[in-house]
A and B are shown apart, each in its own frame.
Chain A
Amino acid sequence: DTEVTQTPKHLVMGMTNKKSLKCEQHMGHRAMYWYKQKAKKPPELMFVYSYEKLSINESVPSRFSPECPNSSLLNLHLHALQPEDSALYLCASSPPSGYTGELFFGEGSRLTVL
């Protein structure tokens, strides 16, 4: 079962709000990713967690704060966002090192910042 589950599917928040996006996978994958995608553009990497440790941070503003509580869960905490942060936020996971390295995406959380 190749499934990455993201909640919520839609989120509307004001610039002063604090909210979180959640991602869950039960495929035993040990790398988890957050991507941001604008309309008609490819996914843009934000963060990579490998074995629950942050391995890549693509110079993302501090108003985005990732968290990996365990090997199955990945959160993205949002605070003081700007309207230009409105986008589709995609979570993805891939198998452990030594495996095939496929990247599986969730359906995304559509974020609107007012």
Chain B
Amino acid sequence: GENVEQHPSTLSVQEGDSAVIKCTYSDSASNYFPWYKQELGKGPQLIIDIRSNVGEKKDQRIAVTLNKTAKHFSLHITETQPEDSAVYFCAASIGHAGNQFYFGTGTSLTVIP
């Protein structure tokens, strides 16, 4: 089955700096890679995703890159703000309904004002 590894497990940055979280996956059949943000006491919220036919996707301050050959994908947050502080999970899936989503172990991001 699929195995998703995520690094780092914790990350502290100064407000305004960039944050990068990296994930690797093992199953070359995976073709959909979402990122979730989970704030304390809440459910995970989908913040950005990328499919295997795309190398990069950007949405305002967040961007995701995918390297299919190396089987890794990364989340980039620029101009970080205190409200970006949360736990971030990457995931990999074969992208259609009813399939499993394999999650990384999570990164606890703290943005220091």
Contacts and interface: CB of A to CB of B under 8 A. Distances in A.
A42 B42 contact: no
Given A42-B103, A42-B105, A107-B43, A98 B96 contact: yes
Interface residues on A, range: 20 to 34
A88 to B, nearest CB: 8
Interface of A: 2, 4, 6, 29-31, 40-43, 45, 48, 50-51, 55-56, 90, 94-108, 110
A102 B49 contact: yes
Nearest to A2: B46
Nearest to A30: B97
A98 B96 CA distance: 6
Contacts of B45: 105
Interface residues on B, range: 20 to 34
Where chain A touches its partner, the secondary structure class is: loop
A108 B39 CA distance: 12
Interface string B54-74: 000000000000000000000
Nearest to B44: A105
Contact of B95 (A4, A45, A101, A106): A101
13 contacts: A2-B46, A29-B97, A31-B98, A42-B105, A51-B98, A97-B97, A100-B32, A101-B95, A101-B97, A103-B34, A103-B93, A105-B36, A108-B42
